[in-house]
Structure 1
Amino acid sequence: MSTYSVRSGDTLSAIAQRYHTTVGALAQANGIKNPNLILAGQKLTVPGGGSAPSAGAGSYTVRSGDTLSGIAQRHGTTVSALAQANGIRNPDFIQVGQKLSIPGKGGASAPSAPASGGSYTVRSGDTLSGIAQRYGTTVSALAQANGISNPNLIQVGQKLRVPAGDHYQPAPSKPSTGGAGPVTGPGNEPGSKGGVSLAQLRRIMPNLSQAKAEQYLPHVNRAMAEAGINTPKRQAAFLAQLAHESGEFRYMEEIASGAAYEGRRDLGNTQPGDGVRFKGRGPIQLTGRSNYRAAGQALGIDLENNPKRAADPDVGFRTAAWFWNSRNLNQYADAGNFREVTRRINGGYNGLASREAYYQRALDVLG
């Protein structure tokens, strides 16, 4: 037997594969009831004592449970380098049995940041957040400078204007209007904070992969800015609840079919098929026709006729912010009353220990 110290971004399945064992064996050896919940710094006993593969160039066959970020970490390279070497456009989409070429340690080197702005041509595997990080700017600044409405949609070969890092100020968010539970908030009140960083998000949610964090972070920050979730206390409470409710952004749609909600007039499900049509979606699950209608009116999106949009990150995090403000949760977060935040989201205190653990970690990370 050997031991392993969990690092940020690790999953139990990736560790099992790395040491040529199984998730079941690891879970049993360490008394883990939920294989999806391991914490950075946790010491694991590894049955069998296999050794991890060495870093460097070569090939790798994707196995069940793999993520591109996990493979990159395992082989001492980066997600961008792996994606570029294998022509992968979407780092979140790899298939079991797919053969990957592993570039040499560290992969392709990133270009140096221009001192006063410049241009960049998008390559396979790039993300806007990765490019922003590389050039010392922000996703919002890049999006604004290039007229990009959806930060997740950039094209290989697209030419981007790169604003000068610290001197470029992104435009303020446009407030939403109308409907119950407005998502607009006092974004410029004294002491308000900006969004969280990629590193902070992954420290709060240690099982969130690098690729997923890069994909979701712009939408999380935009939703928090809209909703006035702009202080460490508010952000910690919001992110802690989202982490628990969605399994660290693993679930953006309810696993069940939604048939159990059929005929639920309290949810506004009055038409045949409404249960399945308006099943839970988003990191705080929006459920029922009436809630889809109300959230859609507040956000200016026709969710009643396009309910699946609620599972998309550009909408799902905004519906979570709408829900948050519809229950005046900023005031309870300001008071440090996390139990009341939980009660108003859950209707009770289910999973309170898990929520509180995320909350304490988030407070530690965000200060």
Structure 2
Amino acid sequence: MTPTVEQLVAAGIGPTAARQFQPVLAAPLARFGITTPRRVAAFLAQCHVESAGFTALEENLMYTSATRLRRIWPSRFADENAATPFVRNPRRLANRVYANRNGNGPEASGDGWRYRGRGLKQLTGRANYRDAGAATGRPYADKPDLLQDPADAVLTAAWFWQAKGCNELADAWAIDSITRRVNGPAMLEAAQRRRRSGEALKALGGVEAA
């Protein structure tokens, strides 16, 4: 199924974003088996939280506090003094915190910034860009900015969703388990993800698991 603009708005997505994304949903959802009300609802909800309501297709790395940087990346910054040079410096920050992770090279390679979070899933790291490209036939490793296009943002999110086994979890309405697959052990905004999943399912006319 493909949600209408009206259903997307009822699921909590703003009208402008709903009109922008609705035309590019059908093919990726069908391609990756996101075809039932539960699957679509849970997918929309997770994408909503990851992308600030389908409005942010690039990771915001503009931090204004060394304290905040230290809290988010304690393993990268021994103390606030170490974090201070990276305040209000997104490129330098990305190259530091994403170095030698997810297929990226060292800090000097620039891979951290080149493969920063993009798309509805905020796909991050050279390896993930490469794998998404291999699965979809798109040149994401060579042209990472493609993920900021709505069609590619949906396509990569749908690929990631299926690859992580989220369709089956959605069938069981295991929203917290989906959040762990999408967001990792941090489980950020878990309550919001549950709430938005329920809202989206209601908008699509589905029924939650008993």
TM-score by length of 1: 0.45
Give the structure 1 partner of residue 28 of structure 2. Answer: 223
- The answer to whether the 8 Å contact 1:298/1:322 transfers is yes
- SS of the aligned residue for 2:41 comes to helix
Which structure 2 segments of 5+ residues have no match? 62-89, 206-210
Higher helix share: 2
- CA gap of 1:299–1:261, structure 2 versus 1, over 3 A, is same
Give the structure 1 partner of residue 153 of structure 2. Answer: 316
- SS of the aligned residue for 2:168 comes to helix
- The answer to whether the 8 Å contact 1:267/1:290 transfers is yes
- The answer to whether the 8 Å contact 1:282/1:320 transfers is yes
Give the structure 2 partner of residue 252 of structure 1. Answer: 57
The one of 162, 169, 172 equivalent to 1:335 is: 172
Query: In 2, distance between residues paired with 1:333 and 1:315?
Result: 23
Give the structure 2 partner of residue 357 of structure 1. Answer: 195
* 1:350 CA displacement: 1.2
The answer to whether residue 5 in structure 2 is matched with residue 198 in structure 1 is: yes
- SS of the aligned residue for 1:267 comes to coil
* 1:258 CA displacement: 5.1
- CA gap of 1:321–1:259, structure 2 versus 1, over 3 A, is farther
Query: In 2, distance between residues paired with 1:327 and 1:287?
Result: 15
Give the structure 1 partner of residue 67 of structure 2. Answer: none
- SS of the aligned residue for 1:233 comes to helix
1:339-360 per-position Cα deviation (integer Å, ceiling 9, x unaligned)? 1001111113210111111011
The one of 113, 138, 146 equivalent to 1:301 is: 138
Give the structure 1 partner of residue 74 of structure 2. Answer: none
User: 293-302 or 268-277: which moved more?
Assistant: 268-277
What aligned pairs does 1:1-367 form with structure 2 within 5 A after superposition?
194-206=1-13, 208-209=14-15, 211-256=16-61, 257=90, 259-262=92-95, 264-270=99-105, 272-348=109-185, 349-367=187-205
- SS of the aligned residue for 1:247 comes to coil
Query: In 2, distance between residues paired with 1:300 and 1:240?
Result: 26
Q: Number of residue pairs matched?
A: 172
- The answer to whether the 8 Å contact 1:195/1:221 transfers is yes
Query: In 2, distance between residues paired with 1:217 and 1:230?
Result: 15
Which structure 1 segments of 5+ residues have no match? 1-193
- The answer to whether the 8 Å contact 1:227/1:322 transfers is yes
**Higher relative contact order (CA closer than 8 Å, sequence separation 6+):** 2
Q: Aligned AA for 1:352?
A: A
Q: Aligned AA for 1:265?
A: N
* 1:299 CA displacement: 0.9
- SS of the aligned residue for 2:101 comes to helix
Query: In 1, distance between residues paired with 2:179 and 2:144?
Result: 26
- The answer to whether the 8 Å contact 1:261/1:269 transfers is no
Higher strand share: 1
Query: In 2, distance between residues paired with 1:288 and 1:260?
Result: 14
- SS of the aligned residue for 1:305 comes to coil
Q: Aligned AA for 1:345?
A: V
1:43-79 per-position Cα deviation (integer Å, ceiling 9, x unaligned)? xxxxxxxxxxxxxxxxxxxxxxxxxxxxxxxxxxxxx
Query: In 1, distance between residues paired with 2:195 and 2:146?
Result: 31
- CA gap of 1:258–1:357, structure 2 versus 1, over 3 A, is farther
Q: Aligned AA for 1:231?
A: T
Please tell me the root mean square deviation across aligned C-alpha atoms, in Å: 1.4
Q: Aligned AA for 1:311?
A: Q
- CA gap of 1:275–1:248, structure 2 versus 1, over 3 A, is same
Query: In 2, distance between residues paired with 1:298 and 1:261?
Result: 26
* 1:366 CA displacement: 1.1
- The answer to whether the 8 Å contact 1:258/1:278 transfers is no
* 1:212 CA displacement: 2.6
- SS of the aligned residue for 2:147 comes to helix
* 1:267 CA displacement: 1.3
Indicate the structure (1 or 2) with the bigger Cα radius of gyration: 1
